[in-house]
Amino acid sequence: MKMTTMMMKSFVLLLLAVGCCVCQGQSTCSMIRCIESKVNDLQTRLEQSEKEVEDLRTLVQGVFTAPVKGMYFFRYSAFSNYLVPGISVVSLWKNNEVLVSTWDDKGQDPHDMGGNAVVIAMETGDTAYAQLSANAAVFNDAGRYNTFSGFLLFTT
């Protein structure tokens, strides 16, 4: 039998709960109530931890999720230089829609910096992010030239 992730989580929670209750030397009826209580507590803590991990993963990936409905300001910058092969195309997205883009190709100048900004209405749960187009590149080093930031202007 192949165990799913959910089955494994449930099994681990049950083992932890039984271990906690058995160690307390409880009778069978009170042990069952103890196990149910421990399983519920552990399940709640597991769900909270999974949410925190998902929130951190989203932040690391550079995706902003609107916590409240409102008007937001977002901006990004992109740096290209003679070391970057091909073109540099960066776009600012809301959910799955491109809002603005910046484009640069190899020219006579060795360094180019570009960016864009928007003020947009967002619903709770909407996402915003800057994304490099397929087959495009930007240059980066310790100077951290490529940025994405934003903030809530006011709730609506």
The more confidently predicted of residues 5 and 80 is 80
Per-residue model confidence as pLDDT tens digits over 46-63:
777 776 666 656 555 678
- What does the domain layout of the chain look like in residue ranges? 5-60, 64-155
pLDDT bucket at 2, cuts 50 / 70 / 90? low
Report the chain's terminal Cα–Cα distance, integer Å: 52
- Rounded CA separation 23/98 (Å): 58
The residues, ordered by sequence, that sit 6+ positions from 66 with a Cβ below 8 Å of its Cβ are 72, 122, 123, 124, 125, 126, 127, 128
pLDDT at 142: 80
The top-level CATH class assigned to 64-155 is mainly beta
User: Taking 60 as the threshold, does the pLDDT of residue 22 lie above it?
Assistant: no
pLDDT in tens, 129-138: 888 777 777 7
Closest residue by Cα to residue 103 from 149, 138, 147, 139: 138
Residue-wise pLDDT tens digits, 78-108: 887 766 677 778 889 999 999 998 887 776 7
Residue of 16, 139, 149 whose CA lies nearest to 75: 149
At residue 97, the pLDDT reads 94
Which pLDDT does position 138 carry in this prediction?
Answer: 73
pLDDT of residue 99: 93
Cα 13 to its chain centre, rounded Å, is 27
pLDDT band at 119, cuts 50/70/90?
very high
Has this prediction a pTM greater than 0.75? no
Per-residue pLDDT at 38:
75
